[in-house]
Chains A and B, each alone.
Chain A
Amino acid sequence: MTTATVLLIAATLNLVLIIALSLSTAVWKARRERRARRHEEELAQLRPVMMRYLATWEDGDAHDLADILIAYRGVTTSFEELVAGLLPKLRGADRSMLVDILRRRGTIEDARMGTLSRLPVRRYRAVELLGAAGVSEGIPEATRLLGDRNTDVRLAAVRALGRIGTAEAAAGLLEHLDSEEALKHPIPPHPVTMALLRIGTDATDALVRSLEADSVEVRTICAEVLGVLGVYPAVSGLQVRARVDPSVSVRLGAAHALGRLSMPSSVDDLTAMLRTEEEVEVIAAACTALGRIADPASLPPLEQAVAHEHPTVRVAAAMALVAFGDTGLDRLREIAQQDAEGGDAAREVLARNSIATNTTPLISY
């Protein structure tokens, strides 16, 4: 066989391959377009039925529509797909009614089983659905998936527990994070915080309990979330954390929370922190917290803190004094006349305050 023949055969084979590839691509595209058209048609049929049911179910004569939705089996689309878009936008009885249809279709049970799938994408979809539906029977599955080897699945499980939003969901989330398993497959703190905030006051008991958790991250999250949620029964636990916790981030979180809760009973602990705390950030946070509480008993220690060796503390203390109104401002003006380092902080804060309140400068240079 000559070289020319070999080349000719190779070129022919190439041509055949290109034609075959083009044909298969065209067929695949046509199929995809047909499927998309079918999908749109099915959605166009299903959507009005669901909307009509949502609009009329209260009248009690829409049972036939409910039966259609429960029995609906599309080729390219599903009732679940449509509901997944609507559930996050609704609350109240209409939402419960949609969840009831999902339950009667067996979707919730399927999703619970789906969390056991070997495929991460199926586990993800299953736990997302349990979260979107907000059904408490999904808590054990979502809690189990907090330890999933796939990061996306773990994060979906955190979100799901936040959406389900019960005391049990909060407890499951915090207990998992404090376990050894959480060290193998870590979960970033931000989504956990968001989930706990979403659960809200239902998470109170679990949050207060977990102030004593082994994990520094859990204690920190709990301290911050308790402050944001305004859980007043947590004040004594937070005071203890602010005083004695070995972790800087926990003491910082506790100081933030005590400031947000603004209970006068925290003044002694916070002023003690100004004397005994070594971390600058925590001292500054204690100053800010004292400013929020604005108890006259904390004026002298705050005045002393304006002369602290670190500028962050000096400014935080000076800003806290502003919160005391005229009394605090008078003290700041006195300090501003001094040449010591506290004077710089006082002048800076007075200047900021005069700009913020659009008043004439309180001191002249």
Chain B
Amino acid sequence: MSSIVVVDDDSDIRGLLEFKLTAAGHSVTAEADGEAGLAAIMDVRPDVVVLDWMMPRMSGIEVCLELRKDPSMADIPVLFLTAKAQESDVQRGFAAGGNDYVIKPFSPRELSSRIDALLARTPR
């Protein structure tokens, strides 16, 4: 069982991912803002983080940059799940240390497959 932290201020998406990923056999922690998300990541040390970009208190980009600064969390795969769809946004997401980028509206099935792929690529 892998542990996943989902950080998204949209309660519908948080709820959906919690159900979907739990049904897929993962342990899920969901938070609604960047600060709480970062705290949860530091606490849980998950196998994958799903991060929204635009959130209160701390953006997903800021959370990702914080993770990459900390050597103990620098290798945790981060998947951005965001409505920011411009080419330059995608570039910024990867430049901040993101490992994958999914644009909203999104397919939960595709997201689940991408998380599986990230997990398969990450040595544990």
A interface, CB within 8 angstroms of B: 47-48, 51-52, 54-56, 58, 85-86, 88-95
Contacts and interface: CB of A to CB of B under 8 A. Distances in A.
A92 B107 contact: yes
A53 to B, nearest CB: 9
A51 B108 contact: no
Contacts of B105: 88-91, 95
Contacts of B23: 52, 55-56
Interface residues of B, number: 17
A56 B108 CA distance: 11
Contacts of A86: 12, 16
Contacts of B18: 51
Contacts of A47: 15
Contacts of B13: 89
A91 B107 contact: yes
Main secondary structure of the interface of B (DSSP, over half): helix
Interface string B1-23: 00000000010110110111011
A92 B109 contact: yes
Nearest to A92: B107
B104 interface: yes
A93 B13 CA distance: 16
A55 B107 contact: no
Contacts of A52: 19, 23
A97 to B, nearest CB: 10
Given A48-B15, A90-B105, A90-B106, 12 more contacts: A51-B18, A52-B19, A54-B16, A54-B19, A54-B20, A55-B16, A55-B108, A56-B23, A89-B12, A89-B105, A92-B108, A95-B107
A180 to B, nearest CB: 37
Main secondary structure of the interface of A (DSSP, over half): helix
Contacts of B87: none
13 contacts: A47-B15, A52-B23, A54-B19, A55-B23, A56-B19, A89-B10, A89-B106, A90-B106, A90-B108, A91-B107, A92-B108, A94-B107, A94-B109
A58 B15 CA distance: 18
B70 interface: no
Nearest to A55: B19
Given A85-B12, A89-B13, A94 B108 contact: yes
Nearest to B108: A94
Contacts of B22: 55
B43 interface: no
A51 B20 CA distance: 8
9 shortest interchain CB distances as A-B pairs: A92-B107, A55-B19, A51-B19, A55-B23, A55-B20, A91-B105, A51-B15, A94-B108, A91-B107
Nearest to B110: A92
Contacts of B108: 54-55, 90, 92, 94
A91 B109 contact: no
Contacts of B16: 51, 54-55, 86
A93 B20 CA distance: 14
Contacts of A88: 105
Contacts of A85: 12
A169 B109 CA distance: 28
Interface in B50-102: none
